[in-house]
């Protein structure tokens, strides 16, 4: 049953329960769990606050707390805590353990630990919840102390320690805990945690060796290995690992499609997207977000439109990630009007969505609108990040708004405490250079807290060419010890534009003497081939 139909069925059940006034706690529990399993934590909590019979509240409390944790609603969790104290449930080990878990997941490890210390009775699950809280908060020292205090440990205990240590980058200690664990407790989950620890720390050979030693494997460990290879750019090894999976699931397919997209193999990503469906797997939100990203980066508007139609036809939930993927795809593929319509129709916008729209407007030359949208973002209460400022500075560069660019650059640190990266400096230097303020641009380079990269120097040299500043260009080239051909070509072009033919020819000879070859320019043209095109729902996917 499609997700939209399942959610509609839940709402109908909810309406019936309210109408009949049933106090059967088992029915309300199933309804609440149904909302949570569908990813509708908001509706689950609305159910609790609107019309839930008092007699059923006690039974659904653990599930309600789970909903609070998924949405990081600490204040509501504390309200439920106060309610449980009044009802005499706080001393219950199961309820107390749930509160520890919720507080930890909401980032309040301090209150979680205080509640843990005050509990009259604890079991291994309680200790595991607190160890998980310390581990998630990066306090492995406290987690180790609790681990040492336990008289009885479970496989979960050992796994939590291995995961936490690996997350902190201490893979040697994680391996030590794995080796110390009793053999009968080394579950597939514990093996997976160790393999995953190796992959996230870039130790793929150790990961592969451990993977091959596993007595049995789950789908997650296959995905972890594939992700590890993709992370290192070892695309062919990732593909071979995927093909070895005896029984694939949707997570494995999502891992493959995402990995291809992140490594720039957009056609392979979209072919895998099609193959996945041919093998009977229905895409979910993760799948379509990765596929939309592949379309966006490949500039394939027709493919993106097909995926948009598939999203509606399959009833895939239009969460913030999917909507942001659609905005990004349409903006990067040139259909800025549709991107704007989707953006304006969103009831909630996260920072990434604002960034995407600002960047889209800037890249299409609508610089003034991009800056106005940046101001609206600030007014909305969504705090901009370094990526936001980069998009806004890019808008200033495209529009030639020097004063606005300088003010934005200063506001990064003054108002938001953000340190400018080399990309931000590059944007501002390009802006100053295009405006003919070459001395200011050069002075800014001299003041940069980091080493200027090729893009920064190239931007200044390009401005020198535009404005015929051969003397400054010569000074820049003398400062930069690099065999990068761009500088020689730019300086040669500057000399040629100034009719200084002897100097231009000298720079060309310098390229030959240094063994530098001019990288030829190239263009990418997609050509549709009837027998090689990839189809999606009987429509051409790649053109």
420 in any annotated domain = no
* 450 close to 472: Cβ distance less than 8 angstroms: no
Which pLDDT score, from 0 to 100, does residue 368 have?
Answer: 95
Which pLDDT score, from 0 to 100, does residue 538 have?
Answer: 37
Range of the domain at 497: 425-543
26 in any annotated domain = no
Q: Which residues contact 417 (CB under 8 A, 6 or more apart)?
A: none
State residue 263 phi and psi, 5-degree precision: -95, 5
72 in any annotated domain = no
The pLDDT tens digits along the chain (543 residues) read: 555 566 677 667 666 666 666 766 677 667 766 766 666 666 666 666 555 666 555 666 666 666 666 666 666 667 666 666 665 655 677 777 888 888 888 888 898 898 899 888 889 999 999 999 999 989 999 999 999 999 999 999 999 999 999 999 999 999 999 999 999 999 999 999 999 999 999 999 999 999 999 999 999 999 999 999 999 999 999 999 999 999 999 999 999 999 999 999 999 999 999 999 999 999 999 999 999 999 999 999 999 999 999 999 888 888 889 999 999 999 999 999 999 999 999 988 889 999 999 999 998 989 999 999 999 999 998 999 999 999 999 999 999 999 999 999 999 999 999 999 999 999 999 999 989 999 999 999 989 999 887 778 878 888 888 888 888 877 877 776 554 556 667 667 666 655 667 767 777 777 776 665 555 555 555 544 333 444 444 343 443
Which pLDDT score, from 0 to 100, does residue 541 have?
Answer: 44
75 in any annotated domain = no
Which pLDDT score, from 0 to 100, does residue 506 have?
Answer: 73
Dist. CA 387–CA 120, nearest whole Å: 49
Tell me which H or E stretch contains 124: helix 124-136
User: Which residue, 239, 242, 186, 245, is CA-closest to 210?
Assistant: 186
147 in any annotated domain = no
Which pLDDT score, from 0 to 100, does residue 468 have?
Answer: 83
Q: How many domains does the chain have?
A: 1
63 in any annotated domain = no
180 in any annotated domain = no
Pseudo-torsion of CA 405, 411, 416, 421, nearest 10°?
Answer: 50
Dist. CA 328–CA 382, nearest whole Å: 19
492 in any annotated domain = yes
Strands 539-540 and 535-536: antiparallel
């Amino acid at each position: 049953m499609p997700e939209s139909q399942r959610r509609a069925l839940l709402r109908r059940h909810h309406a019936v329960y309210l109408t009949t006034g049933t106090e059967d706690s088992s029915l309300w529990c199933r309804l609440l769990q149904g909302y949570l399993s569908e990813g509708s934590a908001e509706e689950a909590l609305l159910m609790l606050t609107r019309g839930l019979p008092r007699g059923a509240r006690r039974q659904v409390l653990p599930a309600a707390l789970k909903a609070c944790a998924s949405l990081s609603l600490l204040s509501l969790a504390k309200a439920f805590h106060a309610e449980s104290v009044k009802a005499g449930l706080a001393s219950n080990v199961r309820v107390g353990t749930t509160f520890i878990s919720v507080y930890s997941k909401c980032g309040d490890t301090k209150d979680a630990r205080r509640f843990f210390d005050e509990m009259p009775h604890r079991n291994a699950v309680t200790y595991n919840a607190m160890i998980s809280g310390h581990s998630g908060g990066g306090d492995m020292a406290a987690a180790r102390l609790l681990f040492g205090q336990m008289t009885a440990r479970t496989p979960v205990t050992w796994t939590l320690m291995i995961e936490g240590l690996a997350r902190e980058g201490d893979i040697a200690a994680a391996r030590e805990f794995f080796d110390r664990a009793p053999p009968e407790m080394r579950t597939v989950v514990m093996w997976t945690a160790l393999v995953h620890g190796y992959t996230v720390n870039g130790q793929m050979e150790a990961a592969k060796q451990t993977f091959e030693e596993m007595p049995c494997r789950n789908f997650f460990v296959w995905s972890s290995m594939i992700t590890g290879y993709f992370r290192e750019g070892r695309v062919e090894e990732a593909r071979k690992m995927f093909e070895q999976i005896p029984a694939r699931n949707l997570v494995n397919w999502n891992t493959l499609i995402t990995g291809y997209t992140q490594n720039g193999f957009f056609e392979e990503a979209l072919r895998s997207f099609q193959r996945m469906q041919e093998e009977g797997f229905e895409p979910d939100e993760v799948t379509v977000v990765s596929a939309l990203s592949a379309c966006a980066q490949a500039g394939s508007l027709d493919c993106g439109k097909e995926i948009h139609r598939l999203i509606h036809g399959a009833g895939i939930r239009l969460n913030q990630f999917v909507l942001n993927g659609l905005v990004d795809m349409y903006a990067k593929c040139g259909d800025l009007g549709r991107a704007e319509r989707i953006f304006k129709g969103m009831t909630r916008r996260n920072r990434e969505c604002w960034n995407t729209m600002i960047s889209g407007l800037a890249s299409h030359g609508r610089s003034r609108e991009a800056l106005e949208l940046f101001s609206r973002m600030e007014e909305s209460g969504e705090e901009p990040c370094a990526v936001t400022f980069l998009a806004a500075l890019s808008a200033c560069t495209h529009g030639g708004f020097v004063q606005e660019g300088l003010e934005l650059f200063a506001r990064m640190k003054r108002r938001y405490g953000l340190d400018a990266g080399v990309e931000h400096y590059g944007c501002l230097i390009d802006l100053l250079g295009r405006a003919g303020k070459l001395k200011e641009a050069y002075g800014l380079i001299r003041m940069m807290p980091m080493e200027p990269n090729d893009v920064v120097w190239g931007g200044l040299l390009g401005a020198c060419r535009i404005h015929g500043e051969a003397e400054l260009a010569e000074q820049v080239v003398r400062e930069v010890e690099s065999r990068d051909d761009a500088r020689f070509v730019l300086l040669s072009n500057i000399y040629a534009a100034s009719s200084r033919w002897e100097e231009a020819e000298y720079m060309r000879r310098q390229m030959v003497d240094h063994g530098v070859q001019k990288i030829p320019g190239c263009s990418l043209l997609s050509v549709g081939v009837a027998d090689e095109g990839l189809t999606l729902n009987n429509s051409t996917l790649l053109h």
